[in-house]
Amino acid sequence: MKLPKILVARAVFPETVARLRTHFEVEDNPSDTVFDAAELSRRLQGKVGAFTTGSERIDAALLDAHPQLRVVANMAVGYNNFDIPACTARGVLATNTPDVLTETTADFGFALMMATARRMAESEAFLRRGEWTKWTYDMFTGSDVHGSTLGILGMGRIGQGVARRGALGFGMRVIYHNRSRLLPEQEAPIGARYVDKATLLREADHLVLVLPYSASSHHAIGAAELAAMKPTATLTNIARGGIVDDAALAQALRERRIAAAGLDVFEGEPRVHPDLLTLPNVVLTPHIASASVATRRAMAELAADNLIAALTGGVPPTPINPEVLAQKGAA
């Protein structure tokens, strides 16, 4: 029997690829080349499914070139690399990997915020350079995390995870802004207060960005927003590059209009704005917030579960556009 053909667009756990091979004829990418649009299109010839990461753009032009494609399974919770309306219009199911990475990503967001507030990267670099010759009363003094005001922009699952850590573990006052307000029973255990964006910017001691990227969140934090923050505040971005105007942030950090930033994501990554690389008061990590071994395995397996279910008549666990399944059910 001929197996359906799929593409695994990036290197992933061999066990996941082996599992996919029990259901499909798999073209994988063990050398982990990041395909440009033309190469991705070439590799998708004859494929009914694609296992993707945030690096692969699935847009209308690609979908039009591959009418045989039925499912695109992203190994990521974020899916700004997918044109969802284009997928839905063509009956292509899109899936992502929510939930399995929530706590791991919230751990990292909190760690990055703490590293930023307490100047961990800057002080470690100082020590490694051999510059530590004596204790000094104000050496690398930062700002307290415990008891301060935690601001969350984007209060989905990961945002709530960061808020829980702050409120329950560190006695932080939590304020947040989001498209929609949480239910009272979600706000109450963490004492979270819904505020408008201007209040969030003005009152947060530590602002953490956890909102999805879209045209409407592009440069949600730019020069004006940075100017509205406290000069002692920190900004942490574990969401997506492009939500922050990195050039404006570099300028604000240079002029100490905010104290420091922690960035796991960048506009145009893996390129990083050169000014950020030269500044001491920014902690930079290479998009690793979900990178615990257990969570990356869970993400890969969930993406595989989605592909297998979608192409073998099962129910995909985490569809982004379930209306495609409803259309198929009705057909």
Q: Could you list the active site residues?
A: 240, 269, 287
Task: Determine if 160 is a binding residue for ligand 8YV (CB under 6 A).
Answer: no
Q: Would you call 237 helix, strand, or coil by DSSP?
A: strand
Stretch that binds ligand 8YV, among 75-83, 87-95, 241-249, 302-310 (CB under 6 A): 75-83
Residues 88-107 that bind ligand 8YV (CB under 6 A): 101
Binding segment for ligand 8YV (CB under 6 A), chosen from 73-81, 114-122, 216-224, 266-274, is 73-81
- Sequential DSSP letters for 308-321: HHHHTTS--SSBS-
| Nearest distance in Å: CB 212, ligand 8YV | 9
What distance in Å separates the CA atoms of residue 324 and residue 218, rounded to the nearest whole number? 28
Q: Which is nearer to ligand 8YV, 279 or 284 (CB)?
A: 284
Which residue in this structure is represented by tokens 């909190």?
A: 110
- 237 sits near ligand 8YV (criterion: CB under 6 A): no
Burial class (CB in 10 A: 0-12, 13-18, 19+), 146: exposed
* Region near ligand 8YV per CB under 6 A, out of 32-40, 72-80, 213-221, 315-323: 72-80
Residue among 292, 290, 230, 221 at smallest CA distance from 250: 221
Residue 77 near ligand 8YV by CB under 6 A: yes
Q: Is residue 78 close enough to count as binding ligand 8YV by CB under 6 A? A: yes
Q: Residue-wise over 70-93: b if at least 16 C-beta within 10 A, else e? A: bbbbbbbbbbbbbbeebbbebbbb
Selected from 4, 49, 54, 262, the binder of ligand 8YV by CB under 6 A is: 54
Three-state DSSP class for 55? Answer: coil
Strand partners, 93: 71
> What strands, in cross-sheet order, belong to the sheet with 93-95?
25-27, 5-8, 49-52, 71-74, 93-95
Strand partners, 82: 58
Residue from 75, 204, 243, 310 touching ligand 8YV (CB under 6 A): that is: 75
Between 46 and 78, name the residue whose CB sits nearer to ligand 8YV: 78
Segment near ligand 8YV (CB under 6 A); pick from 1-9, 35-43, 70-78, 248-256: 70-78
CB nearer to ligand 8YV: give 212 or 322.
212
Residue ranges in contact with ligand 8YV by CB under 6 A: 53-54, 75-78, 101, 290
